[in-house]
A and B are shown apart, each in its own frame.
Chain A
Amino acid sequence: MIPEIGHFALILALCVAVVQGSLPIYGAAVGNSALMAIARPAARGQFFLVLIAFGCLGYAFAEKDFSVLYVAATSNSQLPLHYRLAAIWGAHEGSLLLWTFILTVWMFAVTLFSAHLPDTMRSRILGVMGLVSMGFLLFMLTVSNPFERLIPAALDGRDLNPLLQDPGMVIHPPMLYMGYVGFSVAFAFAIAALLGGNLDAAWARWSRPWTTVAWCFLTVGIAMGSGWAYYELGWGGWWFWDPVENASFMPWLAGTALIHSLAVTDKRGGFKVWTVLLAIMAFSLSLLGTFLVRSGVLTSVHAFATDPKRGLFILVFLAVVIGGSLALYAWRAPRVGLGGSFAMVSREGMLLANNVLLVAAMGSVLLGTLYPLFLDALDLGKISVGPPYFDSVFAPLMAPAVFLMGIGPLAQWKKANLPDLAKRLRWAFGVSLVTALTLPFVMGKWTPLLSLGLLLAIWIVTTAVVGLRERLAHVDGHGLAGRLAAVPRSYWGMLVAHCGIAVFIVGVTMVKGFETESDVRMNVGETATIGGYTFRFDGTQDVVGPNYTAARGTFHVSWDGRETTILYPEKRRYPVQNQIMTEAAIDPGLLRDLYVSLGEPLDDGAWSVRLYHKPFVDWIWGGCLIMALGGVLAVSDRRYRLAWRKQEPAVVPSARTVRRKVA
């Protein structure tokens, strides 16, 4: 009964989406305010309907209803409750439901925080989002229904892939989807602006916080996926340039470019056409990512059932969304108009360079990801494009962008003076250069890449300090604390996010430069030394988990004769799918991670063992979190809060007058 309610709720949601995607947009075109007024209740209604569907699926998982095909395929009676709930998005059908659910969450948020938007704008935005959700609901109801029954019911489920039975599974997919789908808001803003033909600084100011929030979620989502792969897959790598990772990274690159381009549109009214194109690009890449990951063209842990009908549906949907919005763009963009002019050396110029580099990097990732697929589709042979390709293309494109990142925030809008900039930055540059050249020698090893990485990281931090100091000289406030508080949050946000990049670069540089690994055979009682740490293997013992059995090894780690920690890596066997899983043991630290994973059992209780010493690896994810924190700071800036508060309706009628005034 419950699954049927969920199914029915989805059908109703589709009906609502059809209404929401058509009438308000038509109403905005002909100026019918009654039709436009449908948008808000429709979006909220859709949210509650999809919420009901989502809740029903969750209930089916919680109650172990194995008469639902999807539940039987992705869970098991022995699976703990939190993983049973996470199994909602453990495979294809449920992930799509999660996608749609999050889309309606964003829609609901738009209805809450759009009181200050003109009616036409809001109804167009919600209409466009309704169209997107219509596509997804249609997809679910036609070819991938999560509520499909299995008659007769299975005695027990086939279990969730053991790789996915991890706390990361509970948070990583929802976070990532919040980011992916969040770009649909920026996309809807862009399409609404194209439809309306008016694209001004106010438009950019409205869509900026939405884009930044989506970007924060995406940043955290990607970082968590990377961290998960690091400890779960047992190879100690944090980024593999796997097509699935690239699928999430491309929208991030486009989204990062979009954030910066929106800044120019907001502050200077420039880059309008380009901003709109980037918004379309970011969302299209999110859709492409969904297609790549969910259609089964790629093989990885993320790829589920391969059903050609699904692939075809997503491909057609993709073509309609991308083709339709680009056609609209080609038709309407010339009306939007260009912004003010600016000199080559100016903040606009630097941000333009940043955009070009980010988009070029995104293009090279796209090429490396899709090229093997094209060759395969055209039957021209099977190839794979591995990490060396991405490393050798991505790094040279990003290095100048990072270098400009130090200069851009200090350059004036419209026209900056190059000698003046050089004068203001000469100390920062000197300090960075000297430190970057000498520090590797102090650490005992010098390579050009090591110095380059450190140079860029220190450059970002020192220029941020210079920028902050100049800023402090220009704000009013009592004492240092007062002046620090007077610096706007959006500026802090930018500084923090940029420093996050610096932390990230330090992490990557140090791991690449100083990590040590070794695969060794270890007898019981034997020791191995790596990175100055001595690991003593004290044998394994059998342990029993809730739905697995494991051999757990004991490793005593010591540094200079003193014990640092004891690590317990496991080799687990999940009987339901008869799958073996390596559970690495990690001792995390600010300056280094120690990482042990068990290979295979050999004779006499000996094991093959993989040992890693990874300096600064946690800085990689720390940097990403700092970037996201910067985004949060920027969104909490006063100017956005004021924009919302000023027009927040005290009583409904007065809100209407205010809105009319704004319009």
Chain B
Amino acid sequence: MKPRHKRFVFIGLGLLTLGVATVLVLNAFQSNLVFFFTPTQVASGEVPQGKSFRIGGMVEDGSLIRESDGLTVRFYVTDTAKSVPVTYKGILPDLFKEGKGAVAQGQLGADGTFIASEVLAKHDENYMPPEAAEALAKAKASGAQQSKSLVVPGSKKESL
């Protein structure tokens, strides 16, 4: 092979790898992107059926109920305008509390209950998952209702 031909082969192989990588990436994106919705969007039926997505907001005060098996929990996630019932079977993260922000991933059941496969932890008292904070902020902006206790992240210095 002449050097010029060889270079073409190399470039061709490089492009092939790139192509394969792109196909893999697109394919994986197609099936594995998880979108985020606010409880208001869930209530208005904007969410996909039979596909996994995330919701975020505040865990409604006094809504946490534990089933008799000790593992299944039910609670409401609210953005102060609308709230969505959620069930989850498993161990909740350490910082899961009523009146605090939470993000859950899962699917919407036929009866409108969100069946969570995962509940995400937040990392300290002042911190709210940005998705949850945004859901609250959106609901507030649309004038639905006053947010009760929107905790803004990153306010460490003032509270010292």
A577 touches B71 (CB 8 A): no
| A357-B17, A580-B94, A606-B70 as given contacts; A389 in contact with B33, CB under 8 Å | yes
Which residue of A367, A382, A397, A600 contacts B91 across the interface (Cβ within 8 Å)? A600
- Which residues of B5-24 are within 8 A (CB) of A? 6, 9-10, 13-14, 17-18, 20-21, 24
Q: Is B28 an interface residue (CB 8 A)?
A: yes
Q: Is A344 an interface residue (CB 8 A)?
A: yes
- Can you name 7 A-B residue pairings with CB atoms under 8 Å? A363-B21, A382-B131, A385-B32, A386-B34, A393-B24, A582-B94, A608-B71
A384 touches B54 (CB 8 A): yes
A344 touches B9 (CB 8 A): yes
Interface 1/0s, chain A 327-364, versus B by CB < 8 A?
00000000000000101100000001100110010011
Which residue of A72, A393, A581 contacts B28 across the interface (Cβ within 8 Å)? A393
Which residue of A305, A371, A580 contacts B154 across the interface (Cβ within 8 Å)? A305
Which residue of B31, B36, B127 contacts A383 across the interface (Cβ within 8 Å)? B36
A306 touches B154 (CB 8 A): yes
A383 touches B34 (CB 8 A): yes
CB distance from B125 to the nearest CB of A (A): 6
Chain B minimum-CB-distance residue to A361: B21
User: Within the assembled complex, what's the spacing in Å between the Cα atoms of A357 and B13?
Assistant: 11
CB distance from A486 to the nearest CB of B (A): 36
A353 CB contacts on chain B under 8 angstroms:
13
Q: Is A521 an interface residue (CB 8 A)?
A: yes
| A386-B34, A578-B125, A579-B124 as given contacts; A599 in contact with B91, CB under 8 Å | yes
A392 touches B32 (CB 8 A): yes
Q: Is A161 an interface residue (CB 8 A)?
A: yes
B160 touches A154 (CB 8 A): yes
A161 CB contacts on chain B under 8 angstroms:
123-124
| A300-B123, A577-B124 as given contacts; A385 in contact with B33, CB under 8 Å | yes
A384 touches B36 (CB 8 A): yes
Q: Is B137 an interface residue (CB 8 A)?
A: no
Q: Is A388 an interface residue (CB 8 A)?
A: yes
Q: Is B85 an interface residue (CB 8 A)?
A: no
Chain B minimum-CB-distance residue to A601: B70
| A306-B153, A356-B14, A389-B32 as given contacts; A602 in contact with B27, CB under 8 Å | no
CB distance from B146 to the nearest CB of A (A): 24
User: Within the assembled complex, what's the spacing in Å between the Cα atoms of A520 and B89?
Assistant: 10
Chain A minimum-CB-distance residue to B90: A519
User: Within the assembled complex, what's the spacing in Å between the Cα atoms of A363 and B25?
Assistant: 10
Which residue of B21, B94, B131, B153 contacts A393 across the interface (Cβ within 8 Å)? B21
- Which residues of B69-109 are within 8 A (CB) of A? 69-71, 89-92, 94-95
Give the interface size class of chain B: 35 or more
User: Within the assembled complex, what's the spacing in Å between the Cα atoms of A146 and B107?
Assistant: 45
CB distance from B41 to the nearest CB of A (A): 11
B17 CB contacts on chain A under 8 angstroms:
356-357, 360
B127 CB contacts on chain A under 8 angstroms:
299
Interface 1/0s, chain A 580-611, versus B by CB < 8 A?
11100000000000000101101000101010
| A356-B14, A392-B32 as given contacts; A608 in contact with B91, CB under 8 Å | yes
CB distance from A253 to the nearest CB of B (A): 13
Main secondary structure of the interface of A (DSSP, over half): mixed
User: Within the assembled complex, what's the spacing in Å between the Cα atoms of A72 and B17?
Assistant: 52
Which residue of B3, B95, B153, B156 contacts A341 across the interface (Cβ within 8 Å)? B3
Chain A minimum-CB-distance residue to B26: A393
Most buried by A among B31, B33, B131: B33
Q: Is A440 an interface residue (CB 8 A)?
A: no
User: Within the assembled complex, what's the spacing in Å between the Cα atoms of A118 and B105?
Assistant: 58
Interface size of A in residues (CB-CB distance below 8 Å): 57
Interface 1/0s, chain B 119-160, versus A by CB < 8 A?
000011101011100100000000000000000011011001
Q: Is A481 an interface residue (CB 8 A)?
A: no
B31 touches A388 (CB 8 A): yes
B25 touches A383 (CB 8 A): no
Interface 1/0s, chain A 55-93, versus B by CB < 8 A?
000000000000001001100000000000000000000
CB distance from A610 to the nearest CB of B (A): 5
User: Within the assembled complex, what's the spacing in Å between the Cα atoms of A296 and B25?
Assistant: 26
User: Within the assembled complex, what's the spacing in Å between the Cα atoms of A610 and B92?
Assistant: 11
Which residue of B94, B130, B134 contacts A581 across the interface (Cβ within 8 Å)? B94
B160 touches A388 (CB 8 A): no
Which residue of A154, A341, A393, A606 contacts B25 across the interface (Cβ within 8 Å)? A393
| A150-B160, A154-B160, A520-B71 as given contacts; A384 in contact with B34, CB under 8 Å | yes
B156 CB contacts on chain A under 8 angstroms:
73, 158, 305
B129 CB contacts on chain A under 8 angstroms:
299
B35 CB contacts on chain A under 8 angstroms:
381-383
A396 touches B124 (CB 8 A): no
- Which residues of A368-394 are within 8 A (CB) of B? 368, 371, 381-386, 388-389, 392-393
Chain B minimum-CB-distance residue to A298: B130
A382 CB contacts on chain B under 8 angstroms:
35-36, 131, 134
CB distance from B57 to the nearest CB of A (A): 13
5 smallest A-B Cβ distances: which pairs?
A: A521-B70, A599-B91, A382-B36, A389-B32, A306-B154
B9 CB contacts on chain A under 8 angstroms:
344
| A163-B123, A396-B24 as given contacts; A344 in contact with B6, CB under 8 Å | yes
